[in-house]
Structures are given as structure tokens and as C-alpha cells.
Amino acid sequence: MKFITFLLTLMMITLFSTAATAQKTLRIGTEGAYPPFNYLDSDKKLAGFDVDIARALCAKMGGECTFIAVPWEGMIDNLVAGDYDVIIASMAKTEERQKNIDFTGHYYRSRSAFVARTGHDVIFTDEGLKGMSVGACNNCVQAQYLRDHFSSGPSLVLTDDTNQLFELLATGELDIVLSDSLNCLDFLKSERGADFDFAGEPLPSDDVSSSAHMAVRKGELELVRRLEEALEQLRMDGTYDRINRQYFPFSIY
């Protein structure tokens, strides 16, 4: 009898522990400067595809989200320091980043593309870009691509975020921008992007990482499992597609 009582007590403790874990508020770090994925709306609140997906994931996991806006430069360091539990900020998975943090599978895919003023013929070689200014976000995979492929022709300009990047393009301080094609699409649909268009073909996916992943502290594989499981549920019940359609006319998964 005592043994049965012990087992029942153990089961209850496990049950309550599991429920408490499921209900835990998930602290999410994102940038707030990468529209349409994450940005500050007119009320200065975080919004965008990343934010909507994060809220849906938390609901599936039985908890709530707390969002923390973090400059891109400190995104990984602050995660490692324990300031939040997961990064959902359109982050590409790279070998260098994997030394310090773990990633889920992708939650969307994209390719990188160049944007220039409409009618601006561009030859994408060092010679063809000579005398031009080409911009990308600092510490993004696109910045490394420019360093690797255009070492002597154009002047490379690296900005802290994409808002600044496209502002420089719109005001004529940059000739060309290299960014995620979905991010470029958001700019081209805006009023300030009316005189611009994609230049050349999107880059091959082998050249620039073309998928975004959620990131957690090293070794937190249970959280990775829960996030991936919740994401799969969003895809199965149509929630992912509904959020997708709010921002893009085609599937980005």
C-alpha cells in the first residue's frame, strides 16, 4: 500500500512539474528593425512575421510570450547570458554561431538579392561595380558575401539594421543593396521603394544561407524539441499559412 501511495505521489509531482514547465512564460529576443519580419509598429510595439509566429508557438506550447527588443550586435551574447530563452529574429544558422548556440530547423526560407534604382544596369563583377557603393547589414551573411566576392571594385557600406540600409538607398547615399529577398520585397512595396527594383538574379542558395532558424542556449535540446513540435503543429492546422499570407503572396516555408 505504501508503495502504491509513493507511486501516485510521484506521478502527481511529475504531472504538476510538466504542467508548470508548459505554462512557463517564454522570453523571446528579437531585433525590432527588420521589417516585415520584426519591427516597431506605429504604437512602438514589436510586430511582424517573427513576432506573430512566436506568439502562435507560445500558444501551442501552452504558455505566453514576453518579447525583448535587442540590437543585432548583442543578440547572441544576451541569449548566452540568460537575458531571454530563445532568439526569433530571422537568424541564419552558421558554423561560427553554432559554436556558441543551438538552432532549431528552419521556420522559413529565402534567397538574397540585390536592389538598385529601376533602369540601373549593373554588371556584378569588381570591374562592373567599380566606383559604386554597395550596402548590407553588418554581421549578416550578406555582408560576408560582399567581402568574399567584391574585394576591390565597389565601396562596401555596412549598417546596423535594414531600416538604415534602405534609407541610405532611398536617399541616394547607396547605389545598391544586398539583403534577404523577402526583406527587399517589403521595401519595394513601400512608397520610398517605388523607384527601385531587383537587380540581376537572386543569389544561389549555396552562396548565402537561405533559411531562418530559432536559436537557444547551447545544450537546451528539450526546448529545441518543443519549438520544432509546436512549429509542426502550426503548419498542420493552417496557422502558419494564415500568418504567411498576411505578409507574403507566396509560401516562404
Listed by start position, the domains of the chain span 2-110+211-247, 112-199
Q: Residue 142 is inside which H or E element, if any?
A: helix 141-149
Residue type, 160: D
At 24, the pLDDT band (50, 70, 90 cuts) reads confident
Q: Which three cell numbers stand for residue 35?
A: 521589417
The answer on pLDDT for 75 being more than 50 is yes
Return d(Cα 36, Cα 182) in angstroms, integer: 8
Say what the pTM is: 0.73
Contact 13, 20 (CB under 8 A): no
| Least confident stretch, 12-26, 69-83, 123-137, 176-190 | 12-26
Residue 5's alpha-carbon distances to 9, 13, 14, 15, 17, in angstroms, are: 6, 12, 14, 15, 18
Mean pLDDT along residues 19-24? 48
pLDDT in tens, 76-109: 999 999 999 999 999 999 999 999 999 999 999 9
pLDDT of residue 209: 60
Torsion over CA of 68, 165, 76 and 223, rounded to 10 degrees?
A: 60
Query: What is the homologous superfamily of the domain 112-199 according to CATH?
Result: Periplasmic binding protein-like II (3.40.190.10)
Q: Is 114 helix (H, G, I), strand (E, B) or coil?
A: strand
The answer on pLDDT for 219 being more than 50 is yes
The answer on pLDDT for 140 being more than 60 is yes
At 9, the pLDDT band (50, 70, 90 cuts) reads very low
Q: Which of 5-19, 112-126, 230-244 reaches the highest mean pLDDT? A: 230-244
pLDDT of residue 23: 47
Mean pLDDT along residues 61-68? 95
Fold of 2-110+211-247: D-Maltodextrin-Binding Protein; domain 2 (3.40.190)
Nearest to 177 by CA among 214, 124, 141, 134: 134
| Least confident stretch, 10-19, 128-137, 181-190, 230-239 | 10-19
Q: Which residue has the higher pLDDT, 16 or 173?
A: 173
Q: Which residue has the higher pLDDT, 179 or 111?
A: 179
The answer on pLDDT for 207 being more than 90 is no
Nearest to 166 by CA among 186, 182, 187: 187
Residue 57 DSSP class:
H
pLDDT of residue 111: 86
Mean pLDDT along residues 143-160? 93
Q: Which of 97-106, 158-167, 183-192 reaches the highest mean pLDDT? A: 97-106
Q: Residue 34 is inside which H or E element, if any?
A: strand 33-34
Average pLDDT, the chain: 90
pLDDT of residue 8: 46
